[in-house]
Structure 1
Amino acid sequence: MRVRNKPWADGYIKAHSDYIVTDPKAWLGKWQTRFEKNQPLDVEVGTGKGQFIIQNAKAHPDINYIGVELQKSVIATALRKFMADPLPNLQFVLTDGANLDEIFLANEIQKIFLNFSDPWPKKRHAKRRLTSPNFLKTYQKVLDPQGKIEFKTDNRGLFEYTLVTMNQFPMVFDDVSLDLHHSPENDTNIETEYEEKFSPNGPIYKLIAHFKS
């Protein structure tokens, strides 16, 4: 998806460096120093415009959150939304989610959120999907042994692909929902901007899984 350039993004990011990191490798082993308290760490890969992770940080002040996003204009939009009411337990990182094992220590993350990732529908692009085996290997390195992956999508093909790759890895499924918004779990579901816009068009699929020890 083409992202419209925002000329103000560079300056805004530089002006709010206390809340956003553009050199993540320099913070390896030091992420907790950017937060008010040392707490369990959850990471969203592909944080988009920030609604999901901001609302999670508000709802769970006992957890530290990091929103990872590759697109500068997109993460700048999330940062601007966040700065309307800054929280001490949320940071943003401008980087590629494929490199989590280069910026986080082994077992450092409690939970990884993957929300409405690009489905990369063509078979030749399968390795780019955020739930492909190579990505799962990276997540396994940085997740706590008891850590979990929470995945949401409206793309049936990507959901089925993810069920297969996680099962073969192997991973254990803690929960699988074929229609999240009509399930009991929807009572505590926090929506992304994309989810709000497109959920009327069809079901939202969700799974929670962990790696076998």
Structure 2
Amino acid sequence: MEHHLTVARTARYQQLGELSAQTRRVWFVCHGYGQLAAYFIRHFAFLVEADPTTVIIAPEGLSRFYLSGNGGRVGASWMTRDDRLHEIDDHVNFLNQLAAVVLPQCPPDVQVTVLGFSQGTATVSRWLTHARFRPAHLVLWAGSFPDDIDATVAQSLLHALRLTIVIGSDDEYITLTQAEQQFQYLEQFAALTHLVTFPGKHELNRAILEKLAVSEQ
């Protein structure tokens, strides 16, 4: 018979920029499957260089593994289908604890952007339905909002929330048609939804990140 035991463990996250009373913007950015926060966060370094009042926080999935065989490069995952609900709970708790450490170091009116990439889109979406703050902007990049989130819960989160869906024109995992369907699905919750495309694959794009950052100023 299977049982579960809640234990304390150490979670890891990366940070660019210094949290202070001068911090105006905080981005929480969640990586995709098989990535590590230390490498993922590098894509956002130019935002801090351009604006020292911006801080980037990149949490890392609690499950790490070798990407090939029994050694070599290591990646992290937010969850798998095995014991999925407990993994979701663990990550929601982790991210809530992280926000509770980060946000009190900022002014009360700090603007929070939450970005999920690939597998990270489901993670940030589920997190925000249980978060103790409301972001100014949610970015779902090369992924989707989970359709198993209760409609009432989704409505509470997404109503009047600025929401940007980003997709590369040649994404190997998600088609533009699927992204457009996601756009239409989320519109029903009265989110302020925008669909942004760029020439590229399943990847981040600096030019789009720059536009997102400028639009928040």
Q: Same fold (TM over 0.5)?
A: no
Structure with more helix by fraction: 1
TM-score between both structures, scaled by the size of structure 1: 0.42
Higher relative contact order (CA 8 A, sep 6+): 1
TM-score between both structures, scaled by the size of structure 2: 0.42
